[in-house]
C-alpha cells in the first residue's frame, strides 16, 4: 500500500542519514557529523536517532553536560528508549534529584523498559538515598522513605540504619531495635551493630555490653557478633571477655579488625608497647576488612551512585579488590595461633607516669642541694701541735638594697645625686 511504501522510504532515508553521519565520524569530519545528527534531531521522523548520535558524540568528546541534555530530551519525548532512560536516571541520581529520578523510573516501569524486580530494587535505592538527605531536617519523612525501601528490598542495611536513626529521634526505641535486629539476623553488618549498641546515649558501658550480647545471641558463631561484643567489653573494661571474643573472631577470620582490636585491648589492659606492636604487625599482614566498593572505589559508607562512573546501585559490601590478603612474610599467612605463640610476655613493671617521673627528679634534686649545704665536720688537731683558736669568720660586707623590679614603662627611677655623672659622648643617633 502507499502507506507502507512511504514508511519504508522514511526508514531507508533515516538509515542512510545515520550511515552518512557515522562515515563522517570515522574519517574525522566531526563538525559535518554533528551537523547531520542535529538535522536528524530536528526531524520528527529521525529525532531519536539524531539525539542518540549527538549523545554518543558528546560522551566520546567528554562533554558530559551536553550528553546529559541530549539524554534528557530523548527521555522526555520517548521514555521507552533504554539508552535515554538509563542515562537520564543516572544523571538525575548524580545530581541528587531523587524525585525526578523516581518519576522517570515509574515511566520506565510502565513502558516495560526495565523488569519489575529491577525497577523495585532501583526504587528502593532511590528512596534510601532520599531518606538519607531528609534525616537531619525531616526525620519523619526519612523514616517513611526508609521503611518503604525496606519493603522493596528486604533487610537492606543502609535503609534499616536510616530508619532506625529516624525512629531513635522520635524516641521509638523498641521499634528501631526491632528493625535493626531483623537486619542483623539477615546479615550482620558492623554499622548495624554500632547503631544498635549506641542506641541510647545515656546507657552505661555495662548496658551497652548487654545489648551487644543480645546481638551475639541472634547470630552466634559469627565474626561480626564476636567483634561487637569484644568492643563493648573493652569499653566496659571487661578485658578477659574482650580478649576472648577478639581471639575467637581472629580464629574464625584472621582479618585486620580483629588484630587491631587486640592491640586496643593490650593498650588498655597492660600498656605493654612490645605486645601492642606485635598485634599491629599482625594487622598489617592480615586480610583487609570488607568495605563498600564500586568500580574499584572504596568508601567507608554506602553511596547510591558510583562517583567514578555514575552507575546507580553500584556499591557492594565486600573486601576491596587487591586487598584480599595482606603481605605474607616467611612464606605463611597470619594465624591467631602463631600470633599467640610469638606474643611477647608481659613486662613485670609498668613504666611510671610522666608526673611521677618529675616528682622523683625534684626529690633527688632537693636531696642533692641539702647534702651540699650541710657543713663539713671540723678536722681533729694533729698530735704534737698546739691547738689554735678557731678563726673568726670575716664580716660580710653589707649588700646594697635591691632595687624593685617594677616601675613605669621607660621610667629610669629616682636619680642618685651621689653617683658619678655619666660620661658624655659625641655619638648621636642621627
The pLDDT assigned to 117 comes to 94
pLDDT 10s digits, 87-140? 999 999 999 999 999 999 998 898 888 899 999 999 999 999 999 999 999 999
First to last CA, the chain: 113
The per-residue DSSP string of 8-44 comes to HHHHHHHHHHHHHHHHHHHTT-HHHHHHHHHHHHTST
Q: What is the dihedral of CA 54, 60, 62, 66, to 10 degrees?
A: 10
Question: In which band, very low, low, confident or very high, does the pLDDT at 42 lie, cut at 50, 70 and 90?
Answer: confident
Q: What beta strand segments (E) does 306-348 contain?
A: 316-318
Mean pLDDT (the chain) is 82
The pLDDT assigned to 57 comes to 87
* pTM of full prediction above 0.75: no
pLDDT score of 398 more than 90? no
| Interval 158-185 mean pLDDT | 96
Question: In which band, very low, low, confident or very high, does the pLDDT at 330 lie, cut at 50, 70 and 90?
Answer: very low
| Interval 292-313 mean pLDDT | 94
The pLDDT assigned to 125 comes to 98
Question: In which band, very low, low, confident or very high, does the pLDDT at 276 lie, cut at 50, 70 and 90?
Answer: very high
Sheet holding 316-318, edge to edge: 297-299, 291-294, 316-318
The pLDDT assigned to 93 comes to 95
CATH assignment of 18-111, given 2.60.200, 3.30.300, 1.25.40, 1.10.150?
1.25.40
Burial-class residue 19 by CB neighbours within 10 Å (0-12, 13-18, 19+): exposed
CA pair distance 263, 239, nearest whole angstrom: 12
Where are the alpha helices (H) located in 187-238, listed in sequence order?
190-197, 205-218, 223-235
Amino acid at each position: 500500500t502507499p502507506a507502507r511504501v512511504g514508511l519504508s522510504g522514511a526508514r531507508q532515508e533515516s538509515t542512510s542519514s545515520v550511515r552518512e553521519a557515522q562515515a563522517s565520524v570515522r574519517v574525522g569530519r566531526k563538525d559535518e557529523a554533528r551537523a547531520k545528527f542535529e538535522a536528524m534531531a530536528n526531524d520528527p521522523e529521525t529525532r531519536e536517532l539524531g539525539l542518540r548520535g549527538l549523545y554518543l558524540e558528546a560522551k566520546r568528546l567528554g562533554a558530559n553536560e551536553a550528553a546529559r541534555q541530549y539524554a534528557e530530551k530523548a527521555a522526555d519525548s520517548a521514555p521507552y528508549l533504554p539508552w535515554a532512560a538509563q542515562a537520564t536516571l543516572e544523571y538525575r541520581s548524580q545530581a541528587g534529584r531523587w524525585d525526578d529520578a523516581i518519576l522517570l523510573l515509574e515511566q520506565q516501569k510502565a513502558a516495560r523498559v526495565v523488569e519489575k524486580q529491577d525497577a523495585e530494587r532501583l526504587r528502593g535505592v532511590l528512596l534510601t538515598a532520599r531518606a538519607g538527605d531528609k534525616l537531619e531536617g525531616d526525620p519523619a519523612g526519612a523514616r517513611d522513605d526508609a521503611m518503604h525501601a525496606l519493603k522493596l528490598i528486604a533487610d537492606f542495611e543502609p535503609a534499616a540504619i536510616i530508619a532506625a536513626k529516624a525512629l531513635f529521634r522520635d524516641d521509638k526505641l523498641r521499634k528501631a531495635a526491632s528493625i535493626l535486629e531483623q537486619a542483623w539476623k539477615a546479615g550482620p553488618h558492623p554499622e548495624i551493630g554500632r547503631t544498635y549498641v549506641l542506641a541510647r546515649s545515656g546507657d552505661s558501658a555495662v548496658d551497652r555490653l548487654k545489648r551487644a550480647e543480645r546481638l551475639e545471641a541472634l547470630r552466634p558463631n559469627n565474626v561480626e557478633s564476636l567483634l561487637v561484643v569484644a568492643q563493648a567489653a573493652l569499653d566496659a573494661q571487661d578485658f578477659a571477655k574482650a580478649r576472648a571474643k577478639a581471639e575467637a573472631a581472629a580464629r574464625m577470620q584472621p582479618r585486620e579488625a580483629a588484630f587491631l582490636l587486640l592491640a586496643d585491648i593490650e593498650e588498655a589492659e597492660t600498656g605493654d608497647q612490645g605486645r601492642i606492636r606485635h598485634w599491629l604487625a599482625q594487622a598489617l599482614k592480615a586480610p583487609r576488612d570488607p568495605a563498600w566498593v564500586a568500580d574499584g572505589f572504596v568508601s567507608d559508607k554506602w553511596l547510591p551512585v558510583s562517583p567514578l562512573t555514575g552507575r546507580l546501585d553500584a556499591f557492594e559490601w565486600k573486601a576491596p579488590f587487591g586487598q584480599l590478603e595482606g603481605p605474607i612474610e616467611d612464606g605463611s599467612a597470619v594465624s591467631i595461633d602463631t600470633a599467640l605463640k610469638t606474643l611477647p610476655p608481659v613486662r613485670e613493671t609498668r613504666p611510671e607516669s610522666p608526673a611521677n617521673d618529675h616528682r622523683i627528679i625534684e626529690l633527688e634534686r632537693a636531696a642533692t642541694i641539702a647534702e651540699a649545704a650541710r657543713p663539713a665536720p671540723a678536722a681533729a688537731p694533729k698530735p704534737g701541735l698546739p691547738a689554735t683558736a678557731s678563726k673568726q669568720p670575716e664580716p660580710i660586707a653589707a649588700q646594697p638594697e635591691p632595687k624593685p623590679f617594677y616601675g613605669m614603662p621607660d621610667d629610669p627611677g629616682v636619680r642618685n645625686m651621689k653617683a658619678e655623672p655619666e660620661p658624655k659622648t659625641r655619638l648621636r643617633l642621627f
